[in-house]
Amino acid sequence: MTAGTVTEAGTAAAAGRRRTGRFALGVAVIAVPLVLALLGPVFAGEPGPRTASFTLGDGHWLGTDFVGRDVWRQVLHGGRPVVLTALGAGALAYLVALPVGLAAALTHRRWLEELLMRPLDVLIAVPSLLLILLVASVFSPGAIGLALLVALVNVPDAARLVRAAATEAAARPVVEALRLQGESWWRVAVGYVGRSILRTLGADAGTRLTGVLYLVATAAFLGVGVAPDAADWAVMVDRNRTGLFVQPWAVVVPALLIVALTTGTNLLFDAALEKPGGRRGRKERRA
């Protein structure tokens, strides 16, 4: 008995250390791209005169890009659109998914639930990048349009998740008691059910943000929602590819920053969401 407790405490401590280590790693990986994205434009300064394209040195720390602009200055400017569009798209997706999912879970009218959820079942069948390209072939979406599209692609999955979590919470005896007490629908839906699904939403937000970042960057790389000469890390990778063999920095630096941004987001959320006790402990307690 005592021996078991000791080893358990030992493994828990080791897991805790490992978790802190992973957390630190995530912060370290994401710090550089995030700081560049948020503060870069402040330090970028005035644009210098354009020179020959794809040159190295000559006062340009990272050389020049495909139209002769300073790559370092483009790098400083290029993170903000990626990060802001992704954050906006993620927030928008939840803004739609939360009320739809909650309403579908809490309504007692079967037809309303079907009306809210069935169209999403259908939308989920369309591959995300295909939907974005389809719309891009007819309209020319800007950054806001791209954020809307990426949000739309994420709504079905997020709404399903909200509904599943909320249905579980709404079936608890507490909700029945609240209803019998005559609490308002709003207080039950937001005050109790909404609050009890926050943990599930938090876990989902991490993966969703990673997916949104992926889509925003990939769409920008394919030229959707961005100007052809925009200061955007994904656009830089695409446009400067022609000079890869002459001036690799114009491609490698933004590509590395995107890798660090997405990987860091993933590592950080994974470490942050892991419960300190580990999953097994909870299962045993329940049993």
Which spans of this chain sit near other proteins (rule: CB under 8 A)?
22, 121-123, 125-130, 133-139, 160, 210, 213-214, 217-218, 221-223, 234, 237-238, 241, 244-245, 248, 251-252, 255-256, 258-259, 262-263, 265-267, 270
CB nearer other proteins, residue 64 or residue 240: 240
Q: How many helices (H) and strands (E) does the chain have?
A: 12, 0
Q: Quote the CA–CA distance of 218 and 200 in Å, as a whole number.
A: 27
Between 32 and 256, CB nearer to other proteins: 256
What's the closest the beta carbon of residue 237 comes to other proteins, in angstroms? 6
Q: What share of the chain is helix, strand, coil (3-state, %, to 5)?
A: 75, 0, 20
CA distance 87 to 82: 9
Nearer to other proteins, 196 or 207 (CB): 207
Q: How far is the CB of 199 from other proteins (least distance, A)?
A: 19
- Least spacing, CB of residue 207 vs other proteins, in Å: 9
Output the CA–CA distances (angstroms, integers) from residue 106 to 99, 144, 169, 179, 194, in the order listed: 10, 32, 10, 12, 11
Q: What's the angle, vertex CA 87, arms to CA 86 and CA 92, rounded to 5? A: 100
- Comparing CB distances to other proteins, the nearer of 189 and 250 is 250
One-letter amino acid at 265 equals T
Minimum CB distance to other proteins, residue 46 (Å): 29
With respect to other proteins, which residue has the nearer C-beta, 112 or 126? 126
CB of 183 to other proteins, least distance (A): 30
What distance in Å separates the CA atoms of residue 204 and residue 182, rounded to the nearest whole number? 32
Tokens representing 7 are 């080893």
- Tokens, residue 57: 């040195």
Least distance to other proteins, CB of residue 221, Å: 5
**CB of residue 6 vs other proteins: minimum separation in angstroms?**
18
Q: Which residues of 38-76 are buried (b: 16+ CB within 10 A; e: fewer)?
A: eebbeebeeeeeeeebbeeeeebebbbbbeebbbbbbbb
User: DSSP secondary-structure letter at 226?
Assistant: S
Nearer to other proteins, 107 or 263 (CB): 263
Q: Which is nearer to other proteins, 164 or 178 (CB)?
A: 164
- C-beta of 69 vs 160, nearer to other proteins: 160
Length of the chain: 287
- Give the position of tokens 């394919």: 222
The letter for the amino acid at 172 is R
Name the minimum Å distance from CB 248 to other proteins: 6
